[in-house]
Chains A and B, each alone.
Chain A
Amino acid sequence: MDNLFNRKYIIQGLFIVVALILLGQLFYIQVASDRYFLSANSNVLRKKYTFPARGIIMDRNNKVLVQNEPVYDLMVTPSLVKPFDTAALCRIIGIDMKGFHKRFNKAKNQSRYQRSVFEKQLSVQTYAALQERLSRFVGFETQNRTVRHYPDSVAGQFFGYVKEVSEKDIDESNGYYRPGDYIGKAGVERQYNDVLQGERGVENTIYNARNVPQGSYLNGKFDTLAISGETLVSSLDIRLQKLGEQLLKNKVGSIVAIEPATGEVLAFVSSPTYDPNLMVGRQQGNNYMDIFRLPNRPFTVRPLSGYYSPGSSFKPVDDLIALQEGVIDPNTTFNCPGVYWAGNHPVKCEHVDGNISLRRGLARSCNTYACHVFQKLMTQPKYKSKIAAYDDWQAKVRKFGLGSKLDLDMPFERKGRLFTSEEYTKRFGKYWGYTTIISLAIGQGEMSATPLQMANIMSIIANRGYYIKPHLIKAIGEKRDVKKEYLVKNSVGIDLSHFEPVIDGMQDAVNAPYGTARDSAIPDILMCGKTGTVQNPHGKNHSVFIGFAPRDNPKIAIAVIVENAGFGSAYAAPIASYITETYLKGKLSGNRVDRAEWMKKQVVLPEIPKPKIYWGPKVADSTRKADSAARITVPPAPQKKPAANKKQLQLTK
């Protein structure tokens, strides 16, 4: 033996090192990573899903608003397909050979051995025709599904729509969604998707390497049945909804009606609207684009994302705050010479009323009165500075639900606009005071509210001092569960006694001979309300009416906005009165039936902005599917349209 003997250790060491490398890799693929475990399962297991029916949605009177209709997806497993009469298949499902190859290749690329969708949502008729010959199309099979059907064809923006999940949805769902699943993308379908979608059923089958089924996995231990989605009871009254949509036909605007005692939304109208059934089925994508290109944007949910200056309809809120602060009492009078001078610029009134008190000031919608009240509020001696005064006032206004979201159970609610003192300082510099922001007194200036917020203010006044969060779904499921937050009363911090004087004024606005909305008085019902004529820098004024009825024990609070329709009394107030009367009496009385019919026929559409660029003699026909040239000529930029978001008028400089 010589020193070569030591080489034994080198060789043995090498063996051990190599063994450790092998063990290291084994540890990695077996213990550290579960990737291979999952791949093994996806090798062997094929999951066959059964899809649950989405939950049904009913209105407040238990009328079914949404139901499900059966459709059939044609599925294909490429590896099983044998040569067949492709032309026959194409004819039945209405595609051409090019489309056939496109779909087949797509399926093949996804997986040769797993089933994938060949053509979606075949109708019952197509299915019947297909079923007869399906045995000749080896490798093809059908899969049941249901799609939504909206029998009344109303409330498109309320329902929203259901669509196939996107890549993003799948990524965000932590593996819950799979390609081909459906998900609510807008409206209630989106908001309550978790409740509506139900539980997918699954059947696990084992397949061998030659793709031959080998029976169920672990005797069906992990198999489940599909569970249908929960039923939703909506707070909508479908009669009101329908009437509202008819009244706003060919107009741009919004109606929100709330039951004050419960916060339940009775009507949720956004005009222009669309038939929700268009957003169902194989033509969904095309219809979507068609609707999307229409003027005045039907997809905008105006009740909660339309921004309007509340205008005169804000006055009751300001008066309530003033009463609570004690800067006025119901008998305080101000002289109205037809104009209020804020420093050296005038705020005009529509009339000259001389000395005017709260009741008449509201009934006549006197700007001078409102400005005086605002001035009083801002110049109380208790405030050390104008900023303190404004901040205090602004905080009180916010309690009425302005400037922040009301948390309606719908997606994409916007919070409206109410400036803080910092924002004013930023805009005007150090030197600003009540005269600078006097337009707030009449609900203009740096203040916007959604129709929902306006209706909610009426709900507060109707309730004399509190509101319940407005909501569209009042109960969920078989047990009719109600969310706890919809039982909480949110106080606005105004004493009960201050409401009656304000309500007096609002009663007169509708019912007194000198009221702004006297033409809209309802026989036998004391409706209280307030008109608003919202100045609109982009075009004609918006017509606004907010109100509630009856005066005692109110059943309905309502806000109506008709864009570019002029005085509040012209369109908004009558529309509100028709809705209110229908809700309270079940029908309209006397000649009001004809007047409502007349209203339905009125066309008050904002001017469509002139196309800026002409690419040729072609004129854009934006109601039809436009070709590419026409598409360019209709600028989709929302700010160009008068019906768009922010309608603001700066009275002050």
Chain B
Amino acid sequence: MSTQQGGRFFFNVDWITILIYVALCTIGFVNIYASIYNPDTSTLFNFGSNYGKQLIFIITALVLGFSILLLDAKFFSVFAPIVYGVTLLLLMVVLVVGRKVAGNQAWIPLGSFRLQPSELAKFGTALLIARYVGNFNPKFRDIKSIFFAGLIICFPLLLIMLQPDTGSALVFLAFMFPLYREGLSGYFLLIFLGMIVLFIADFLVPISVLIPIILLVGGFFAYQNKRKQQMMFSMIIATIVAVAYLFLVKFAYEKVLEPHQRTRIEIILGLKTDPKGAGYNVIQSKIAIGSGQLTGRGFLEGTQTKYGYVPEQSTDFIFSTIGEEWGFVGCSVVIALYIFLLLRVINLAERQRSTFSRVYGYCVASIIFFHVFINIGMTIGIIPVIGIPLPFISYGGSSLWSFTVLLFIFLKLDSNRMGFI
């Protein structure tokens, strides 16, 4: 079977996805080049510079990706628990030997490179979730399966929180989508949405106004359902929980969050302006993007980019280079490429015969989606500054490799979709 398949091996791979992948990597390289560009010293292939390094990262990522395509598809399902276990181990190791970069103890130094276990944790968790759902086919109607899936997600999440790397931890919420697809009640998504709304409202509206509103709304729905005792009961519970949540948020906000995180939230909610301090990144990023206008200033013509006004521009804020030099048109193209990739991955996932592959596909799409949404949202000021990279585009080997591995594992599973795992 394997020989027969080997002949059709590349035929079965979804070349469209690979094309989008290459396109995004190229956009990344071009914009990293622009954001580091210095008219006096630049040559295109300077491997000492960051864009030269990025070129090496892209080439090695491609090699890595195609090596994955050569592996046996069964490998991932079989080794999922081991990958997950190693990931957890690394997450614990990093807390001990990790090197602090920008306040987060997220890196393990390995020679001249640094390993970021939280990147590995994303596909480790994705694999185990897929394996769990594939093996047991739970419909997430019972507490037990929800609890078990939650456990798989929460172990790495909590370990990452300890680094503390809130941004990477947040990405683990992406696993809600595959679980939802596999049967988790839609209420979880709604509750999640409600939690966000209440969280924001907690800052903007005084609690003395908010609580009566919640009680009124809760009371109204409880009254509506007075015939159905169970519904009424759960409405009352929900109302109480909502009020408790409000106080919890206030408490967590003041006692748990770091001052810089608090400031970031306050800036986004418009409660505070601090153009020189914590708000500087966002303001400069917005200025750079906004100054691109419809068609952008042109390649290497962005003044904010060229003269270094946006900090972290080649990594987390790479989108500001795209925004300034390529304008609204360029931004739209990038977002369209991402959306096309995400919809493509989901469609591919849906055509899988094995549940494992499908769930894994959803995990890939959701993780990429979270990164894209949070990263771009942060650069244009609709989400607090959370330091996570823009998939395939941001500078950095760890992130590019881990996204490549994440995506190519799925492409491998997809190329083998007719096979049995």
B286 contact from A15, A36, A44, Cβ within 8 A: A36
A11 at the interface (CB under 8 A from B): yes
Query: CB within 8 Å of B: which of A1-37?
Result: 4-5, 7-8, 10-12, 15-16, 18-19, 21-23, 25-27, 29-31, 33-37
B369 at the interface (CB under 8 A from A): yes
| Known contacts A30-B290, A43-B309; is-contact A25 B382 (Cβ 8 Å) | yes
B309 contact from A21, A37, A44, Cβ within 8 A: A44
> Per-residue 0/1 for A178-219: is the Cβ within 8 Å of any B Cβ (1 yes, 0 no)?
000000000000000000000000000011111000100000
Docked CA distance A27–B290 (Å): 9
Docked CA distance A15–B337 (Å): 12
Query: CB within 8 Å of A: which of B27-74?
Result: none
Instruction: Please tell me if the beta carbons of A210 and B327 are within 8 angstroms of each other in the complex.
Output: no
B289 contact from A19, A26, A206, Cβ within 8 A: A26
Q: In the assembled complex, which residues on chain A have CB atoms less than 8 Å from the CB atom of B180?
A: 7, 10-11
Instruction: Please tell me if the beta carbons of A19 and B303 are within 8 angstroms of each other in the complex.
Output: no
A39 at the interface (CB under 8 A from B): yes
Docked CA distance A475–B104 (Å): 74
A40 at the interface (CB under 8 A from B): yes
Instruction: Please tell me if the beta carbons of A209 and B303 are within 8 angstroms of each other in the complex.
Output: no
Docked CA distance A210–B382 (Å): 27
| Known contacts A4-B183, A16-B339; is-contact A206 B307 (Cβ 8 Å) | yes
Docked CA distance A23–B334 (Å): 11
Q: How far is the CB of B359 from chain A (nearest CB, A)?
A: 12
Docked CA distance A41–B324 (Å): 12
Docked CA distance A425–B142 (Å): 96
Interface of A, helix, strand, loop or mixed by DSSP: helix
> Per-residue 0/1 for B148-186: is the Cβ within 8 Å of any A Cβ (1 yes, 0 no)?
000000000000000000000000000001001111001
Instruction: Please tell me if the beta carbons of A209 and B287 are within 8 angstroms of each other in the complex.
Output: no
Instruction: Please tell me if the beta carbons of B380 and A22 are within 8 angstroms of each other in the complex.
Output: yes
Instruction: Please tell me if the beta carbons of A209 and B323 are within 8 angstroms of each other in the complex.
Output: no
Query: CB within 8 Å of A: which of B320-378?
Result: 323-324, 327-328, 331-332, 335-336, 338-339, 342-343, 346, 350, 362, 365-366, 369, 373, 376-377
Docked CA distance A12–B293 (Å): 29
Q: In the assembled complex, which residues on chain B have CB atoms less than 8 Å from the CB atom of A25?
A: 380-382
B380's nearest neighbour on chain A, judged by CB, is A25
| Known contacts A43-B309, A206-B303; is-contact A4 B182 (Cβ 8 Å) | yes
Instruction: Please tell me if the beta carbons of A40 and B369 are within 8 angstroms of each other in the complex.
Output: no
Docked CA distance A39–B284 (Å): 9
Instruction: Please tell me if the beta carbons of A39 and B291 are within 8 angstroms of each other in the complex.
Output: yes
B304's nearest neighbour on chain A, judged by CB, is A40
Q: How far is the CB of A424 from chain B (nearest CB, A)?
A: 62
B373's nearest neighbour on chain A, judged by CB, is A18
| Known contacts A30-B331, A206-B307; is-contact A15 B339 (Cβ 8 Å) | yes
Docked CA distance A524–B143 (Å): 124
B335 contact from A19, A29, A36, A41, Cβ within 8 A: A19
Q: In the assembled complex, which residues on chain B have CB atoms less than 8 Å from the CB atom of A5?
A: 350
Instruction: Please tell me if the beta carbons of A208 and B308 are within 8 angstroms of each other in the complex.
Output: yes
Docked CA distance A208–B336 (Å): 33
Instruction: Please tell me if the beta carbons of A26 and B323 are within 8 angstroms of each other in the complex.
Output: yes
Docked CA distance A572–B170 (Å): 92
B293 contact from A23, A30, A43, A44, Cβ within 8 A: A30
Docked CA distance A5–B183 (Å): 10
Instruction: Please tell me if the beta carbons of B350 and A35 are within 8 angstroms of each other in the complex.
Output: no
Interface magnitude class on chain B: 35 or more
| Known contacts A15-B369, A19-B339, A208-B307; is-contact A8 B291 (Cβ 8 Å) | no
Q: In the assembled complex, which residues on chain A have CB atoms less than 8 Å from the CB atom of B332?
A: 23, 26
> Per-residue 0/1 for B206-230: is the Cβ within 8 Å of any A Cβ (1 yes, 0 no)?
0000000000000000000000000
Docked CA distance A23–B327 (Å): 12
Instruction: Please tell me if the beta carbons of A36 and B346 are within 8 angstroms of each other in the complex.
Output: no
B290 contact from A8, A16, A22, A37, Cβ within 8 A: A37
Docked CA distance A8–B362 (Å): 9
Q: In the assembled complex, which residues on chain B have CB atoms less than 8 Å from the CB atom of A7?
A: 180-181
| Known contacts A7-B181, A26-B323; is-contact A37 B291 (Cβ 8 Å) | yes
Docked CA distance A206–B294 (Å): 23
Docked CA distance A27–B289 (Å): 10
The interface on chain A, measured as residues whose beta carbon lies within 8 A of the other chain's beta carbons, has a size of 36
Query: CB within 8 Å of A: which of B256-292?
Result: 284, 286-292
Q: How far is the CB of B190 from chain A (nearest CB, A)?
A: 12
Docked CA distance A7–B323 (Å): 33
| Known contacts A23-B332, A37-B293, A39-B287; is-contact A30 B339 (Cβ 8 Å) | no
Q: In the assembled complex, which residues on chain A have CB atoms less than 8 Å from the CB atom of B309?
A: 43-44, 208-209
Docked CA distance A95–B360 (Å): 74
Q: How far is the CB of B306 from chain A (nearest CB, A)?
A: 8
B304 contact from A43, A210, A214, Cβ within 8 A: A43
Q: How far is the CB of A86 from chain B (nearest CB, A)?
A: 25
Q: In the assembled complex, which residues on chain A have CB atoms less than 8 Å from the CB atom of B346?
A: 8, 11-12
Docked CA distance A35–B186 (Å): 41
Docked CA distance A40–B188 (Å): 43
Instruction: Please tell me if the beta carbons of B350 and A8 are within 8 angstroms of each other in the complex.
Output: yes
Instruction: Please tell me if the beta carbons of B323 and A30 are within 8 angstroms of each other in the complex.
Output: yes
Q: Which of A12, A40, A207, A214 has the most CB of B within 10 A?
A: A40
B181's nearest neighbour on chain A, judged by CB, is A7
Docked CA distance A8–B342 (Å): 12
Q: In the assembled complex, which residues on chain A have CB atoms less than 8 Å from the CB atom of B186?
A: 10
B303's nearest neighbour on chain A, judged by CB, is A44
Docked CA distance A34–B327 (Å): 13
Q: In the assembled complex, which residues on chain B have CB atoms less than 8 Å from the CB atom of A41?
A: 291, 303
Q: How far is the CB of B206 from chain A (nearest CB, A)?
A: 27
Query: CB within 8 Å of B: which of A318-377?
Result: none
Instruction: Please tell me if the beta carbons of A39 and B290 are within 8 angstroms of each other in the complex.
Output: yes
Q: In the assembled complex, which residues on chain A have CB atoms less than 8 Å from the CB atom of B291?
A: 36-37, 39-41
B311's nearest neighbour on chain A, judged by CB, is A209
A18's nearest neighbour on chain B, judged by CB, is B373
A36's nearest neighbour on chain B, judged by CB, is B290
Instruction: Please tell me if the beta carbons of A40 and B380 are within 8 angstroms of each other in the complex.
Output: no
Instruction: Please tell me if the beta carbons of A31 and B307 are within 8 angstroms of each other in the complex.
Output: no
Q: In the assembled complex, which residues on chain B have CB atoms less than 8 Å from the CB atom of A39?
A: 287, 290-291
Q: How far is the CB of A83 from chain B (nearest CB, A)?
A: 22
Q: In the assembled complex, which residues on chain A have CB atoms less than 8 Å from the CB atom of B380?
A: 22, 25-26, 29
> Per-residue 0/1 for B301-315: is the Cβ within 8 Å of any A Cβ (1 yes, 0 no)?
001100111000000
A43's nearest neighbour on chain B, judged by CB, is B309
Q: How far is the CB of B96 from chain A (nearest CB, A)?
A: 37
| Known contacts A7-B181, A11-B181; is-contact A22 B335 (Cβ 8 Å) | yes
Instruction: Please tell me if the beta carbons of B287 and A40 are within 8 angstroms of each other in the complex.
Output: yes
Q: In the assembled complex, which residues on chain B have CB atoms less than 8 Å from the CB atom of A206?
A: 303, 307
Instruction: Please tell me if the beta carbons of A30 and B328 are within 8 angstroms of each other in the complex.
Output: yes
Q: How far is the CB of A218 from chain B (nearest CB, A)?
A: 11
Q: In the assembled complex, which residues on chain A have CB atoms less than 8 Å from the CB atom of B377?
A: 22
B291's nearest neighbour on chain A, judged by CB, is A40
Docked CA distance A442–B46 (Å): 98
A38's nearest neighbour on chain B, judged by CB, is B291
Docked CA distance A5–B323 (Å): 37
Q: How far is the CB of A314 from chain B (nearest CB, A)?
A: 66
Q: In the assembled complex, which residues on chain A have CB atoms less than 8 Å from the CB atom of B292?
A: 30
Docked CA distance A30–B285 (Å): 12
Query: CB within 8 Å of B: which of A427-460?
Result: none
Instruction: Supply 18 A–B pairs (Cβ within 8 Å), ascending by A.
Output: A12-B342, A16-B339, A22-B376, A22-B380, A23-B335, A26-B328, A26-B335, A29-B290, A29-B380, A30-B289, A30-B294, A30-B323, A30-B331, A39-B287, A40-B303, A44-B303, A44-B307, A207-B307
Residues of A within 8 A of B (CB): 4-5, 7-8, 10-12, 15-16, 18-19, 21-23, 25-27, 29-31, 33-37, 39-41, 43-44, 206-210, 214
| Known contacts A12-B346, A15-B343; 20 further A-B pairs (Cβ under 8 A) | A4-B181, A8-B181, A8-B346, A8-B350, A11-B362, A12-B343, A15-B365, A19-B339, A22-B382, A23-B331, A26-B331, A27-B328, A29-B381, A30-B294, A30-B327, A35-B290, A43-B303, A43-B309, A44-B307, A210-B308
Q: Which 4 pairs of residues, A with B, have the shortest CB-CB distance?
A: A36-B290, A40-B291, A208-B307, A29-B290
